[in-house]
Amino acid sequence: MTSALRYAVVGTGSVGAVLAQRFSDHHVPALWANTRGPETIDVTGLSASITPATLDTALDADVIILAIPFLQVRELGGRRADWSGKIVVDATNAFLVPNSEQILGGRLSTEFNAEAFPGAAVVKSFNQTAASQLAEKRPLEFGRRVVFVSSNDSAASAVVAGLCTDLGFAPIELGRIDEGGVLIQARNALVLRNLYELPSELENSIQVDSTVGRDLTPGTWTIDPVHSSITFSVRHLVIGRVRGRFDEFSGAITVPENGTPSVAVTVAVGSVSSGNPNRDHHLREPDIFGAAEFPTATLVSTGMHPVGQHDWVLETDFTLRGTTKRVPVTFSFLGVSPGMGHGEVAGFEGVIKLKRSDFGVLTETPVLSGGGPMVGDTVEITVCVEAVKAPSAPTG
């Protein structure tokens, strides 16, 4: 997954709706806004990852995707005098705009639009193909849809390419807008090309090592805390990141003969360790974990669905400080090892993104004099698990 950036889709037309569906399907949190207000946005059938928002709230996001008519872009840009620190993704086209050649004055459409967002890194993407093609779904074994990414800012291009991957696309970075990006301007070589990245023949031909299997057999798989870890990170002073871990946790994965596996995990929040005893003491205090009143955090699965060959999204109820929220966990199944004589061992790696404010953590966070919270609201939790298969009960 990409880092914990805030995403927003502006526009509820065909392209905006397709992108909102993609964010929803892959459980990537995003705001969705238009000029008419959040009450006009229909999120029926979308996951909790999508939050209708006011336009001004959406424009506070780190990455803003413009899925609006080309002629409305400049008006939107005029809502702020300075867009520094933002990545603006231009998903618009001047292709069918009357008098577009006179409007552009020989400039590329994205270069023209970039003038409306002083200070921002502008990226061109999601607009080289029709919305109906962008929305098309097909089995993963037939490949991922290619989307192109172009920007004069290579770091911003990499961020958007990472987002494309998170949304299930296969991104190709084309470099600068006035160089490779020209290929995805209207009527140019890559526009309206219905391209897919097929699974690598090399990848398909690789045989799993004989010591590692891919079958998670029915039974109870107990999490081995000695060979597992739960770590977290959160933004500090906007530009930094504080990291920590929990040293005490337990849990199990139950695999039925038929049906969906279930997961239950309990974490002792008082076991938090960030490498600084004073900070650890504060983390246990009532304004953060409240460890004396709420000694454990729990995660209980409610469902699961695949998002790739070995990747899944686990829907969970996560409880912290007595508050329970539905939180998706994106994880990879790494296979099954025969272990070291104490039972089979299954490996998993997962990422959980949640908002501390949803659980009443640091509700009165100081705001820096230059703007922005002292501590970020999004917390990214990385889980690396080895689970040991309990021996089968003897029969007869």
User: In which residue ranges of the chain is CATH 3.40.50.720 found?
Assistant: 7-202
Displacement of CA 24 from its chain's centroid (Å): 10
pLDDT in tens, 329-362: 888 888 888 766 677 899 898 888 888 888 888 7
Collapsing DSSP to helix, strand or coil, 253 comes out as strand
User: In which residue ranges of the chain is CATH 2.40.128.110 found?
Assistant: 219-389
Cα 377 to Cα 361: distance, rounded to the nearest angstrom: 9
Identify the pLDDT of residue 173.
92
User: Residues of 196-234 as b/e, b for ≥16 C-beta within 10 angstroms?
Assistant: eeeeeeeeeeeeeeeeeeeebeebebbbbbeebbbebbb
Which tokens hold the place of 281? Answer: 């003491």
Please report the beta strands in 131-239, taking only residues with DSSP state E, as ranges in sequence order.
Answer: 144-151, 170-173, 196-197, 219-223, 229-236
Taking CA atoms, 199 is separated from 100, 293, 373, in Å, by 39, 50, 43
Identify the pLDDT of residue 80.
95
Answer yes or no: are the C-beta atoms of 348 and 316 closer than 8 Å. no
Q: Is the dihedral of CA 34, 39, 43, 44 positive or negative?
A: negative
Cα 330 to Cα 297: distance, rounded to the nearest angstrom: 19
Residue 129, H or E segment: none
Identify the pLDDT of residue 267.
95
Determine phi and psi for 172, rounding to 5 degrees: -125, 120
pLDDT in tens, 78-104: 999 999 999 999 999 887 788 877 888
Q: Roughly how many angstroms between the first and final C-alpha of the chain, as a whole number? A: 48
Torsion, Cα of 214, 218, 220, 226 (10° steps): -10
pLDDT in tens, 277-336: 998 999 999 988 999 999 999 999 998 877 765 678 888 999 999 999 988 888 888 888
The CATH superfamily holding the domain 219-389 is: Lipid/polyisoprenoid-binding, YceI-like (2.40.128.110)
| Assigned CATH for 7-202 | 3.40.50.720
Q: Inform me whether the pLDDT recorded for 264 exceeds 90.
A: yes
Query: With 0-12 CB in 10 A as exposed, 13-18 as middle and 19+ as buried, what is 394?
Result: exposed
Identify the pLDDT of residue 241.
79
Among residues 257, 252, 286, 255, which one has the least CA distance to residue 269?
Answer: 286
Cα 87 to Cα 83: distance, rounded to the nearest angstrom: 9
CB atoms inside a 10 Å sphere around CB 59: 19
Collapsing DSSP to helix, strand or coil, 22 comes out as helix
Confidence class for position 215, pLDDT limits 50, 70, 90:
confident
